[in-house]
Amino acid sequence: MKKEVEVIVYGANQLCPSCIHLPSSKETYEWLEAALKRKYPEQPFTIRYVDFTNPEMDKDKEFSERIVEEDLFYPVVTVEGEIVGEGNPRLKTIYKEMEQYGYEAK
């Protein structure tokens, strides 16, 4: 593994208007965290949930503003700052990005 990556799920308490029948942002975060831990056991990574309507950390504010300005579908999933999914993120795409950083499926 090249380095420990940071995965961030940006979402909001309110469901995305275009994503009515999909899980909430928080549910997506929990599902993604569990899936990544199963796929890459004993391979450390950081995963965080950020409410983009009220980001607590300064480093999340700029991206949170981008979500609003570009009218992105949420949740928005990033790996090392690169968008890898929005609205209904696909595990296959996220796994592919993780493997670019040296993560190996177990």
Q: How confident is the model at residue 23 (pLDDT cuts 50, 70, 90)?
A: confident
Q: In whole angstroms, give the CA distance from residue 44 to residue 90.
A: 21
Q: What is the mean pLDDT of residues 60-70?
A: 93
Q: Judging by beta carbons within 10 Å of its beta carbon (0-12, 13-18, 19+), is residue 66 exposed, middle or buried?
A: middle
Q: How confident is the model at residue 61 (pLDDT cuts 50, 70, 90)?
A: very high
Which domains occur in the chain, in start order? 7-100 (3.40.30.30)
Q: Say if residue 85's pLDDT is above 70.
A: yes
Q: How confident is the model at residue 59 (pLDDT cuts 50, 70, 90)?
A: confident
Q: Say if residue 5's pLDDT is above 80.
A: yes
